[in-house]
Amino acid sequence: MCLAAALALLLVCLPAEGKKPLRGRQMAHSQFEKAQRLREALNGRPAKQRTKREYGRVIEAYRRVYRYSPASPHANESLLAMAELMAEEGRVFDEDAYFEKAIDEYRFLRREYPGSRHRFDALFTIGQIQWQNLEQPQPATATFQEFLKSYPTHRLAEQAKQALEEIQQQAKAAKEAKTAKGRTGKKEQKAEAEKPEAKGTTAGESTPPAKERGGLPLVTNIRHWSTPDYTRVAIDLEGEVPYEAGRIADPDRIFFDLQNTKLASELVGKTFDVDDGFLRKIRVAQYQLGQTRVVLEVKDLSEYSAFLLPNPYRLIVDIHGKAPEKPAPAVAKNGATAAPKESAGKAAGSKAAKTEAPPSVPKVESAKEAEQPEPAPGTEKEVKATSKPTTGPTFEAVGPRGEGRRKSEPRPPAAHEARPTASGERSLVRALGLKIGRIVIDPGHGGHDTGTIGPNGFTEKDLVLDVSLRLGRLLESKMGAEVVYTRDDDTFIPLESRTAVANQSQADLFLSVHANSSRDQGARGVETYYLNFTSSEDALEVAARENAVSEKSIHELQDLVKKIALKDKIEESREFASEVQTALYKGLSKKNKGLRNRGVKKAPFVVLIGANMPSILAEISFLSNATDARQLKTPQYRQRIAEALYKGVAEYVDGLSGVSLASKSPKSGPGQ
């Protein structure tokens, strides 16, 4: 009896057949999302500010994906990410050991996943690292020869042949130089050696790096975010570079030529599959010596724009097109497929969704199925959108705009007629009876980016997160709106990712929450901004602080693409800002003598650029003011701020036709 009871208990405790792998895949999926967020945060920091410990943390996060479930569709993606990060470490810290580790990781990927679509790029990249980074021509030659023997028809075969030719040319040149040096008489060699400049490094000269790159900044990474009618692409750069934009037909492509740049080894010839309905694929290649070309294969393109952001430098490309009939899966950073639209709002800064998308089978690609070589540069007709290389913003309208978002989701009848704006006009938003259903709240800063630090040590990142979460609860409980946070914990989210989250979530409003700062410690008050052009020095100063970019970039933002200055969006953003500002001042000025109403202002905030909905940024107080800092540290005062913000949002929404209840739209808020 005891034996039978023990066996029965053992059977109960053991997982049912098939359940353990499923749990492993779920854990791997959740861990992969976490690793993606960590990598995104790392990408948002300048390379010189990154540490080995931070790289190790991100790499270990990806390693856990493989450990949780080697059969997960994310496992080989994680191994690829680890190899790329290790190669990046080698460049950032100038240590060959990291390049060797990257090679080991690429080889492990090829050995463990022989059917992975990344196996081609992995072998080619090993050769690139051996040649360009480790300066090992013989191993690189062997690797490129192996590539050509294994994959003679692959799209990278031509580049492998070119690499072999360049290696041979370098070897020949080195041999000729050595021979010429041997002919030089001993006296000449001795005299040359005794020259002061030949004895080591002079006082004003730094020791050259172990891996000479010719001084060209590298293109280090490409990231992208997708929705049914919008995609944002971020091209990470080591410095400010001029670029040219253009278009090629049949098939339809737009391209960006980055001048005076060189591709990082792991990016040479790489492709990113997007397939979001109008952006199919991203390809990158060393177009010619000192010039990198990024090609975006598009379909039903409406318009595109590009602008350069510093600190760290990246070229941001926004692409708009017609929405597909069925919503496509969102695409996460670094080319990986993320959860569907229901969890899109959690893509950056939020915890992973509890419901997991059905696991997919990794794509198996044979050599025959690999893409064919690209046409030679100059053989196709290119239509340039730029007359010459530029570092300023560009914009091109390609065709008629799509019919807008949520085409297949008609809104319910209006609860009441929308009021005209404060200026007495009735925008299209009001004339069409559009309602508010989903609101994105963006707590500023986060992670290593503390924002303003008050005299009492209270940080802006903690203050605005607390206020934002309080505001979100009020909007959900009192208004019935759906709330999505760009972050709901102490996570750093790059500025360009925040607007991408709003567009990805198909939000109706975007509210970014910040605390102000001033060199004048007596400065007090509240103010609210909306995106528009401005010549105000004060507004530009605040924008410069929140954007953390140079003055030059702030002024460049004034000339940003035409689409962000569309009349209706600007009017609604101004109206939204006005209601929030009024409510903020009324709610906080009571029992708060000396608080100033600093009014509604306009400025080119990076965090508001590219948003498809009315967008504002609220400066809720001056954390640099000792009096305000003491109040802000109390939960009661932070609750008053949240309630004032809520009243402002509610007043704006009441001016429209009403609220589209959260139950009417897909849920994607925190905690789902």
> pLDDT tens digits for 20-44?
445 788 899 999 999 998 998 898 8
CATH number at residue 46: 1.25.40.10
* 620 falls within a domain: yes
Could you give the strand order of the β-sheet that contains 509-516, starting from the edge strand earlier in sequence? 482-485, 438-443, 509-516, 615-622, 526-531, 597-603
Q: What is the mean pLDDT of residues 169-178?
A: 82
pLDDT band at 671 (very low <50, low <70, confident <90, very high): very low
pLDDT band at 642 (very low <50, low <70, confident <90, very high): very high
Range of the domain at 472: 435-660
pLDDT tops 70 at residue 630: yes
pLDDT recorded at residue 390: 84
β-strand partners of 222: 235
pLDDT recorded at residue 413: 34
pLDDT recorded at residue 669: 37
Which burial class, exposed, middle or buried, applies to 137 when counting CB atoms under 10 A from its CB (0-12, 13-18, 19+)?
middle
* 2 falls within a domain: no
CATH number at residue 634: 3.40.630.40
Buried b (16+ CB within 10 A) or exposed e, 634-648: eeebbebbbbbbbbb
Q: Does 439 lie in the same domain as 393?
A: no
Q: How many residues does the chain have?
A: 672
Question: Which of 154, 170, 186 finishes a domain?
Answer: 170
> pLDDT tens digits for 58-99?
999 999 999 999 989 899 999 999 999 999 999 999 999 999
pLDDT tops 60 at residue 615: yes
Q: Does 490 lie in the same domain as 444?
A: yes
pLDDT recorded at residue 191: 55
> pLDDT tens digits for 297-327?
988 777 888 888 888 899 999 888 765 454 4
* 409 falls within a domain: no
pLDDT band at 12 (very low <50, low <70, confident <90, very high): very low
pLDDT recorded at residue 546: 59
Q: Does 440 lie in the same domain as 387?
A: no
Q: What is the mean pLDDT of residues 351-377?
A: 38
pLDDT tops 70 at residue 13: no
pLDDT tops 90 at residue 547: no
Inter-axis angle of helices 52-68 and 19-43, nearest 10: 160
Q: Does 226 lie in the same domain as 148?
A: no
pLDDT recorded at residue 17: 43
Q: Comparing 21 with 293, which gets the higher pLDDT?
A: 293
* 393 falls within a domain: yes
What is the percent of the chain with per-residue pLDDT over 90, rounded to a whole number?
39
* 177 falls within a domain: no
Task: Tell me how far apart the alpha carbons of residues 528 and 512 are, in angstroms, rounded to a whole number.
Answer: 10
The segment with the largest mean pLDDT, out of 129-133, 206-210, 494-498, is 129-133
How many structural domains is the chain composed of? 3
CATH number at residue 231: 2.60.40.3500
* 206 falls within a domain: no
Q: What is the mean pLDDT of residues 528-537?
A: 63
Q: What is the mean pLDDT of residues 294-298?
A: 92
Q: Does 504 lie in the same domain as 573?
A: yes
pLDDT recorded at residue 620: 94
Q: Does 542 lie in the same domain as 479?
A: yes
Nearest CA among 671, 610, 614, 564 for reference residue 225: 610
Q: Does 510 lie in the same domain as 385?
A: no
* 136 falls within a domain: yes
pLDDT band at 192 (very low <50, low <70, confident <90, very high): low
pLDDT recorded at residue 436: 78
Inter-axis angle of helices 75-93 and 119-128, nearest 10: 10
Q: What is the mean pLDDT of residues 434-460?
A: 89
Q: What is the mean pLDDT of residues 170-188?
A: 71
Question: Which of 371, 397, 423 finishes a domain?
Answer: 397
* 131 falls within a domain: yes
Looking at every residue in the chain, the average pLDDT score rounds to 76
pLDDT tops 50 at residue 380: yes
Q: Does 528 lie in the same domain as 600?
A: yes
pLDDT tops 70 at residue 470: yes
Q: Does 282 lie in the same domain as 138?
A: no
Q: How close are the terminal C-alpha atoms of the chain, in Å?
A: 46
pLDDT recorded at residue 665: 39
CB 301 within 8 Å of CB 280: no
Q: Does 627 lie in the same domain as 514?
A: yes
pLDDT recorded at residue 372: 45
pLDDT tops 60 at residue 532: no
CB 162 within 8 Å of CB 377: no
pLDDT tops 90 at residue 287: no
H or E, element range at 236: strand 230-237
Q: Does 155 lie in the same domain as 81?
A: yes
Cβ neighbours of residue 541 closer than 8 Å, sequence gap 6 or more? none
Both tokens assigned to 550: 């140079």
Strands 482-485 and 438-443: parallel
pLDDT recorded at residue 100: 96
Q: Does 507 lie in the same domain as 609?
A: yes
CB 668 within 8 Å of CB 437: no
> pLDDT tens digits for 591-611?
788 889 999 988 766 657 777
pLDDT band at 55 (very low <50, low <70, confident <90, very high): very high
pLDDT tops 60 at residue 563: no
pLDDT recorded at residue 254: 92
Determine what percent of the chain falls in helix, strand and coil, rounding each to the nearest 5: 45, 20, 40
CB 481 within 8 Å of CB 662: yes
